[in-house]
Amino acid sequence: MIVAKFGGTSVADAAAIRRLIEIIRSRLSAQPVVVVSALATVTDSLLALAPLVESGNGPAVDAAILALVGRHAETARGLAGTEAAMERIRRDAEALCRELTRMLGRRLSPAGLDALAGRGELWSSQLIAAAMSGAGLDAAWVDIRPIMITDDRFTRASPQVEVMESRARSTLVPLAASGKIAVTQGFVGSTADGRPTTLGRGGSDYTAALLGAALEVERVEIWTDVNGLMTADPRIVPSARTLAAASYEEAAELATFGAKVLHPATAQPLVKAGIPIVVLNSTRPDEAGTIIEPSAELERMGNSPIRSISFKRGITVINVRAPRMLGAFGFLRTMFEVFERHEVVVDVLASSEVSVSLTVEDRSHLDAVVSELSELGEVRVEHGRAIVAVVGVGLKHTPGVAARLFKAVQPDNVEVISQGASAINMTFVVREEDGPGVVQRLHREFLGT
């Protein structure tokens, strides 16, 4: 078996869905399980309803839902056999309208946001399963929610792996054995008592990997809108090249520091069984893509010590200066307990003799964190920062690489520098506006023009 996951742009409209169908048709003998995202931008549009609900703007909510239904109807018109699926989507959209009308003037809870955001995948998967059947494939729509059982940390739920794996096997293996192609949703799950959850933004890749591990597939295919994992985001570095191969560790570091092409947790379920991930372009299915596997050998990366550069905006730096305390026993632990209590994830950490700098992305509990940190020392907060991360197993082995890195980033721009414990990444925190320039200079220095 294989898992084939199609992201938002790969299911954006009827033409994209027709390409998906032909890709699946070319892989029937591998017994594919198809995981789909919502049609491109639909998750954003659904989440944009929340502030309209909160401000009590009923007519705007109705209009936005009508527009989403229109978007799906337009897609369905280009695809044979989708009438009944479209009718189901229409009815569910009406139900959503009624639910949100009851909530007008109130703030949606995280659970409410998940019930809303997950609609996009439910609708896209119904449409795509129907279109596949209409095109002569033996497709079966599968609701992933009773399979993907998660905890109740809404908007960023974690799967209960054992339950999920056994349910995935008992549902999906017999379907594949009988020659059916399961079509299911990425991103969504539910708590054990049936309340809808999501795995966090971009989570469909993670769904695909979790199912791939459960089913012990040959490979997990991630179909997207670029040729694979590249030497940098092609939107920032137009001359970026596609990597033939990368290791799990490299892929995870790149994703954590901004390479949106993969969700940061994608590799994690696959490490144990050594199942490869292949990142492929759904508009150019004959390109080789990038293979992410246990030991992408060094020689496959040419002569650069680094494999790729990633870039992440919207970062806040917190600097804690505590000259007398820093060396004191237990100081760092006390500091990290503050972050832990508020469930705020720290991405990058650097310390000097008198201060600690760290970065966070999530600003929702920042005020509380800062007020508690102020009891430990003098706290400075800087918004509008970005992380630039260079990643490559060659960083560990190549002499002189640090000097070249510093020359390329031009240290005046850099506020925090940190090397990950794995020694395969080096991160720089810069002002957001300086970020693209730093990425371009590093790319020129290490990865060609």
Residues that bind ligand ASP (CB under 6 A): 7-8, 37-38, 43, 120, 186-187, 201-204
Per CB under 6 A, residues contacting ligand ADP are 7-10, 37, 202, 224-226, 229-230, 232-235, 254, 259-261, 308, 310
Query: Between 5 and 241, whose beta carbon lies closer to ligand ASP?
Result: 5
Distance CA 339, CA 323 (A): 20
Query: Between 38 and 442, whose beta carbon lies closer to ligand ASP?
Result: 38
List Cβ neighbours of 89 (8 Å cut-off, separation of 6 or more). Answer: 69, 72, 123, 126, 127
Cβ 95 vs Cβ 79: under 8 Å: no
Residue 225 contacts which entry, ligand ASP, Mg ion, ligand ADP, none (Cβ below 5-8 A, type-dependent): ligand ADP
Per CB under 5 A, residues contacting Mg ion are 7, 202
Query: Between 7 and 159, whose beta carbon lies closer to Mg ion?
Result: 7
Considering the complex, what minimum distance in angstroms separates the CB of residue 84 from ligand ADP?
27
Continuous H helices in 32-155: 42-47, 49-54, 58-77, 83-103, 110-117, 119-134
Task: Centre a 10 Å sphere on the Cβ of residue 100 and count the other Cβ atoms it contains.
Answer: 21
CA dist 290 → 243, 295, 302, 425, 449 (Å): 6, 13, 15, 19, 21
Considering the complex, what minimum distance in angstroms separates the CB of residue 256 from ligand ADP?
12
- Angle between helix axes 119-134 and 58-77 (nearest 10 degrees) is 20
Helices then strands, each counted (H, E), the chain? 14, 17
Considering the complex, what minimum distance in angstroms separates the CB of residue 261 from ligand ADP?
4
Query: Between 200 and 437, whose beta carbon lies closer to ligand ASP?
Result: 200
Residue 120 contacts which entry, ligand ADP, ligand ASP, Mg ion, none (Cβ below 5-8 A, type-dependent): ligand ASP
Considering the complex, what minimum distance in angstroms separates the CB of residue 116 from ligand ASP?
12
Residue 389 contacts which entry, ligand ADP, ligand ASP, Mg ion, none (Cβ below 5-8 A, type-dependent): none
Residue closest to ligand ADP when measured from CB atoms? 7
Query: Between 187 and 339, whose beta carbon lies closer to ligand ASP?
Result: 187
Continuous H helices in 300-342: 331-341
Query: Between 31 and 37, whose beta carbon lies closer to ligand ASP?
Result: 37
Residue 367 phi, psi (nearest 5): -60, -45
Q: Burial letters for 305-331: b for 16+ Cβ neighbours within 10 Å, e otherwise? A: bbbbbbbbeebbbbbbbbeebbeeeeb
If phi > 0 it is left, if psi is from -120 to 50 it is alpha, else beta; for residue 263 that is beta
Residue 186 contacts which entry, Mg ion, ligand ADP, ligand ASP, none (Cβ below 5-8 A, type-dependent): ligand ASP
Residue 235 contacts which entry, ligand ASP, Mg ion, ligand ADP, none (Cβ below 5-8 A, type-dependent): ligand ADP
Considering the complex, what minimum distance in angstroms separates the CB of residue 314 from Mg ion?
17
Residue closest to ligand ASP when measured from CB atoms? 204
**What tokens does 285 get?**
């299915």
Query: Between 41 and 398, whose beta carbon lies closer to ligand ASP?
Result: 41
Query: Between 120 and 202, whose beta carbon lies closer to Mg ion?
Result: 202
C-alpha closest to that of 5 among 207, 304, 218, 245:
207
Torsion of CA 435, 437, 440, 445, to 10 degrees: -110
